[in-house]
Chains A and B, each alone.
Chain A
Amino acid sequence: MCLAIPGKVLTIEKDAQPVMGNVSFAGIQRRVCLEWLPDINVGEYVLVHVGFALSKVDEKEAKETLDILQKMRDGLDDLKEDGDL
């Protein structure tokens, strides 16, 4: 029910009421309401639920989430090298 999918903003119709835009989901395009994301730009990713963009997907944060595990592993390796484990 709360399914939401990330898609890439292709166009923004700023003058539409409410603000709408075309969003691509891995090649499939759909018109989406962008009214609640006033700062969104073409090329950015948004999370879409029942035809509405709920939030911007932050690329830097997305990468950091994936980097945490690597850092954890690196930390473990450092500990192993120090003879702590």
Chain B
Amino acid sequence: MRFIDEYRDGETARRYAEEIKRITTRTWTLMEICGGQTHSIIKSGIESLLPAEIQLLHGPGCPVCVTPLEIIDKAIAIASRSDVIFTSFGDMLRVPGSHKDLLSVKAEGGDVRMVYSPLDALTIAKNNPDKRVVFFAVGFETTAPANAMAVKEARKQSIVNFSILSSHVLVPPAIAAILSSSTNKVQGLLAAGHVCTVMGYEEYFPLAEQYKVPIVVTGFEPVDILQGIYMTVKQLEEGRYEVENQYSRSVRREGNPAARALLKEVFAVIDRKWRGIGEIPSSGFGLSELYTEFDAEQIFGVESIEVQEPAVCIAGDVLRGIRKPQECPAFGNECKPEHPLGAPMVSSEGACAAYYNYKRIRNTIATQ
């Protein structure tokens, strides 16, 4: 048992698809929130296994994709300084700001470094006391505790040259924003399994109740996703709207109490702008009053940077499940992974990149 291969078994996946087909009596529209699941769905061809009555919409669960343009511009302004070492997860480096991306800053001589973990950024700060080290703290509730730990350790170890540019986003407020919209088509939700390893799933009970949608906490492998879809469709067919946990091997109802306690200490819930969606109330984490001295926005005086999102790409509609990537006139023409107009084409978890990379491969195979 290695907890991966068993859930990638093609035969098991096919049998689940048969079961879904067997119980489906009408059309249903489901949304997977998480970009990691979007990637898995498109890559493994799950949509082609499903009956025509089941439509999957792809949600806003890709932190790279929803980071607003002005935060990218703030990152670029800070990273361009000669006294700064700017550290980030790799997937933020190619996201286009108003005029350039972080990789261009690096090409122009800026000290921009990719790290695997925020603790690596802390080590860089310790080893470079004459530089100011900034970590680009993006992510959902899955990543936020790791970023919080870096801040707490910086305080504990008196590492005064470390700070974070915080752009954390929270899943439940985004779900509420989608379900309460007048254009909402979503009838059932696959909740993001890894977010729930930290937060648990008690936050979803009021959402399921208020919007009368089944919510199934789901894992990431093809068999997990098909089982999650099966459980959601079964609820819809039976007229139920409950919270269920498909990913019980990793997710407990209460999540991870130690990680949650750390989030509560280091961060405070704030309003956040989402790229392509706009401001969602109480949908992000900023540093709590106890830890404001680690706030890079204040340290470098970039709070006032505000920019307008370009109207070129339809990322906002894609992220809310209103339109599919291929409905964008720029898709595959001016907008490709090597020249992205919007973040969903940059990140491997963005719906546009997933469609571009994997649907094209399948189309190529189909025409051979």
Chain A residues with CB under 8 Å of chain B are: 1-6, 17-18, 26, 33, 35-38, 45, 47, 49-52, 54-59, 61-66, 68-69, 72-73
Residue of B whose beta carbon sits closest to that of A60: B249
| Chain A residues in 8 Å Cβ range of B4 | 5-6
Beyond the given A6-B3, A68-B227, please list 20 additional residue pairs across the A-B interface where CB-CB is below 8 A.
A1-B91, A1-B347, A2-B143, A18-B149, A35-B149, A36-B259, A47-B250, A49-B143, A50-B89, A51-B146, A52-B117, A52-B149, A54-B194, A54-B198, A57-B3, A58-B248, A65-B227, A66-B6, A66-B223, A69-B19
Assess whether B36 is interfacial by the CB under 8 Å rule.
yes
Residue of A whose beta carbon sits closest to that of B147: A50
Chain B residues with CB under 8 Å of chain A are: 1-4, 6-7, 12, 15-16, 19, 34-36, 61-64, 89, 91, 116-120, 138-140, 142-143, 145-146, 149, 153, 156, 192, 194-195, 197-198, 223-224, 227, 246, 248-252, 256, 258-259, 262, 347, 349
| Chain B residues in 8 Å Cβ range of A65 | 7, 224, 227, 246, 248-249
CB of B252 within 8 A of CB of A55, answer yes
CB of B15 within 8 A of CB of A73, answer yes
Q: Determine the distance from Cα of A45 to Cα of B2 in the docked complex, in whole angstroms.
A: 9
CB of B258 within 8 A of CB of A61, answer no
| Chain B residues in 8 Å Cβ range of A1 | 35-36, 62-64, 89, 91, 138-140, 142-143, 347, 349
Q: Determine the distance from Cα of A67 to Cα of B300 in the docked complex, in whole angstroms.
A: 55
13 A–B contacts from the bound complex (CB under 8 Å): A1-B349, A6-B3, A33-B119, A33-B149, A49-B142, A51-B119, A52-B117, A54-B145, A54-B197, A55-B251, A57-B250, A65-B227, A72-B19
| Chain A residues in 8 Å Cβ range of B197 | 4, 47, 54-55
Interface residues of chain A: helix, strand, loop or mixed (majority):
mixed
| Chain A residues in 8 Å Cβ range of B246 | 65
Q: Determine the distance from Cα of A6 to Cα of B223 in the docked complex, in whole angstroms.
A: 16
| Chain A residues in 8 Å Cβ range of B145 | 36, 52, 54
With A54-B259, A59-B1 in contact, is A2–B36 under 8 Å at CB?
A: yes
Q: How far is the CB of B110 from chain A (nearest CB, A)?
A: 23
Q: Determine the distance from Cα of A36 to Cα of B256 in the docked complex, in whole angstroms.
A: 7
